[in-house]
Amino acid sequence: MKTHMLAQQVALVTGASSGIGKAIAVAMADAGASVVVNFHSQPDAAREVVEHIARHGGRAIAVKADVGSESDVERLFEEAVTAFGRVDILVANSGIQRDAPIGEMTLEQWNQVIATNLTGQFLCAREAVRLFRRQGRSRGPGDGRREGQREGQREGADEAPSRALGKIIHISSVHQLIPWAGHANYAASKGGIDLFMRSLAQEVAEEGIRVNAIAPGAIATAINRESVEDEAARKKMLSLIPYGRIGAPEDVAAAALWLASDASDYVVGTTLFIDGGMSLYPEFRDGG
């Protein structure tokens, strides 16, 4: 659905060539934002996301970067500014799983997950805060303008397009709360996001920067394809979801859109669980 909720704003979404990141990139473009589609290893898929957005009248570019690399993340933001003049919204979405029982978990598996899921969130958030500070409240001519719009033609030209100086949305997981045997590295990375997000939110709120997170439950994407496609595994997964369905990337995108918009302007340091009730201890449904 097309809206103007994010008109004249620029959103940078990491890991946006697939799954939840892709749905968020498309939703933000539909809401009027210019979108930076970060990808790591799927250039063709990223190009398709950019083309999809362009076909629907939006603006987007694809930029390759490893969120665990400091120099890559710095370049990612530089390219965003070169293309669109600024960044208003960061969605730190990239994440991986490298599952193993603890006795067999290699240091490499541990380090890879922490580097992408936790250090990646830190590097992107730090860069976003630095940029929000540099940008301040002033907007140069053409910043974040939609295609076809000329200076002086903008809706509400005298008003800033967002009440916040900038917005950061961390994509965490229900496993920031629910322990996950066999996935200790993943759960540790997501638990880390929770306190990183809340500490950052507390630190920068007075500057007008809003930091929040989304904790998705079971969403059908590449990360859990096996559990969703295998009948027995799917049934087991559904037994953990009180609402009775596996989520779609669009369920998460709708929440991200709200958190990025002025509709949530008083929401600071919160994690929204988008999980069909997975975090409600479903084993206790029948009285425990």
Active site residues: 186
Residue 176 interacting with ligand NAD (CB under 6 A) = no
Q: Of residues 135-164, which lie at the interface with ligand NAD (CB under 6 A)?
A: none
Residue 14 interacting with ligand NAD (CB under 6 A) = yes
- The count of chain residues that interact with ligand NAD, using the rule CB under 6 A, is 28
Residue 222 interacting with ligand NAD (CB under 6 A) = yes
Closer by beta carbon to ligand NAD, 99 or else 262: 99
Residue 218 interacting with ligand NAD (CB under 6 A) = yes
Among 8, 34, 109, 116, binds ligand NAD (CB under 6 A): 116
Among 18, 176, 212, 261, binds ligand NAD (CB under 6 A): 18
Closer by beta carbon to ligand NAD, 154 or else 170: 170
Residues 97, 110 contacting (CB under 8 angstroms): no
Rounded-to-integer distance, Cα 141 and Cα 134, Å:
16
Smallest gap from residue 269 Cβ to ligand NAD (A): 19
Closer by beta carbon to ligand NAD, 135 or else 176: 176
Binding positions for ligand NAD, rule: CB under 6 A: 14-15, 17-21, 39-42, 66-68, 93-96, 116, 171, 173, 216, 218-219, 221-224
